[in-house]
Structure 1
Amino acid sequence: MESEEIPTQQIIDKLRQTLEPRIGIADSVMFARENSAIARDEDDEDIALLKTGFDIYNVPITSYQRQLGSAVIAVRKIVRKLLRPVLERQVIYNFANTRVVQTLSRQLQKLQENQQNLEIKIVSEFSGCLPEVKAQLETQQQAIANFQSEIEEIKAVQQQQTAILEMIAAQLGDRSPSNIKNDPK
């Protein structure tokens, strides 16, 4: 089964279109979208949405029913008054969260700028040292190659000496003490 890519941006746009008229922020979001040249990216748009939509208490009360419209609006106003303490606490909470997100976003942007500056600084500092480092690496690589060739030579000499010692041991093995006494030399 192939995994399909989820159209995240389309889902976000659809949710915004659906929710904006309900919570009374359509005009301000449209204004923010028109000024998207000022906004850096989608995160800034989301922060703008948070800023304009944190006040859930002062949402316009409307009704799309012609006959019962005034009654529905009156009931909604009564419910709003009953829920006022809860809604006010939610508005305060939403406002605080909006400020925190905005602060974190600014800090993140500063950190990203600092990281880019540091990367540029590191590249510029090390680009001047690069020829020296390359020369040192080549010198060390040449020294390693020389050591390896010397090790190979030593191994070859060691093998020759081992072979000579084996020959001597074999010859000495042929000359046992009884053979040496009978030897006319």
Structure 2
Amino acid sequence: MKHEEIPTQQIIDKLRQTLEPQIGIADSRLSGIENSAIARDEDDEDIALLKTGFDIYNVPITSYQRQLGSAVIAVRKIVRKLLRPVLERQVIYNFANTRVVQTLSRQLQKLQENQQILEIKIQSELSSGCPEVKAQLEAQQKAIADFHSEVEQIKAVQQQHTAILEKITAQLLDRQK
């Protein structure tokens, strides 16, 4: 069986479309200037939705049926009264979760800002470089260059000595003959 990607954004959008009218809040993406200032990105939009929709107890009771409308509303009010303790606990839980999410979101935003500041500091320090580190690096590079120069000089002297030894060896062989 193939692993299929879950269309997360589509599910979120569908839930918003379904739940927003039921819990008595407007579509946060369509509701003008107030929410555009509050909800600058999806996370802010979700937090705004949590803040406006946590109270599931005080949802307006309506009915779209003309003939039985008042009876349906009366039944819904009775059911609401029966479910009051459960709904109130859920409202408290929703409110607490909304506060926690909002606090975590603020902390995350602060951490991201701090990270950006630190990255800028590190980049500026690396670009300007620490004078001590630069000086040590230059000194080591000069020492390596000097060492390579000495090695080349030693090789040249060694080649000269090898050539002289070959001449001496050849002369000794000639004398022995």
- TM-based fold match above 0.5: yes
Between stretches 109-118 and 66-75, larger displacement belongs to 66-75
1:49 counterpart residue number: 49
Would you say the 8 A contact 1:29–1:48 is kept in 2?
A: no
Q: How many angstroms does 1:72 deviate by?
A: 1.2
Distance in 2, Cα, partners of 1:94 & 1:141? 67
3-state SS of 1:65 partner: coil
Would you say the 8 A contact 1:29–1:49 is kept in 2?
A: no
> Could you give the per-residue CA deviations for residues 53-99 of structure 1, whole angstroms, max 9, x where no partner exists?
00000001112222222111111100100111111111111111111
Between stretches 19-28 and 99-108, larger displacement belongs to 19-28
AA aligned opposite 1:13:
D
Distance in 2, Cα, partners of 1:32 & 1:107? 27
Distance in 2, Cα, partners of 1:96 & 1:137? 59
Would you say the 8 A contact 1:32–1:48 is kept in 2?
A: no
1:167 counterpart residue number: none
AA aligned opposite 1:55:
D
AA aligned opposite 2:107:
Q
- Give the direction of change, closer, same or farther, for the CA distance of 1:127–1:94 in structure 2 (3 Å limit): same
1:66 counterpart residue number: 66
2:120 counterpart residue number: 120
Q: How many angstroms does 1:139 deviate by?
A: 3.7
Matching of residue 101 in structure 1 with residue 94 in structure 2: no
Would you say the 8 A contact 1:33–1:45 is kept in 2?
A: no
Q: How many angstroms does 1:10 deviate by?
A: 3.3
Give the gaps of 5 or more residues in structure 1.
Answer: 158-185
Distance in 1, Cα, partners of 2:139 & 2:9? 52
- Give the direction of change, closer, same or farther, for the CA distance of 1:27–1:60 in structure 2 (3 Å limit): farther
| TM-score, with structure 2 as normaliser | 0.69
- Give the direction of change, closer, same or farther, for the CA distance of 1:126–1:5 in structure 2 (3 Å limit): same
Alignment of 1:14-163 (within 5 A): 14-26=14-26, 30-31=30-31, 35-129=35-129, 133=134, 136=137, 139-140=140-141, 143=144
Q: How many angstroms does 1:50 deviate by?
A: 0.2
Count of aligned pairs between the two proteins: 152
Q: How many angstroms does 1:5 deviate by?
A: 5.7
Would you say the 8 A contact 1:24–1:60 is kept in 2?
A: yes
| TM-score, with structure 1 as normaliser | 0.66
Q: How many angstroms does 1:27 deviate by?
A: 6.0
> Could you give the per-residue CA deviations for residues 39-62 of structure 1, whole angstroms, max 9, x where no partner exists?
331000000000000000000111
> Between Structure 1 and Structure 2, whose CA radius of gyration is higher?
1
Would you say the 8 A contact 1:32–1:45 is kept in 2?
A: no
3-state SS of 1:36 partner: helix
Would you say the 8 A contact 2:47–2:102 is kept in 1?
A: yes
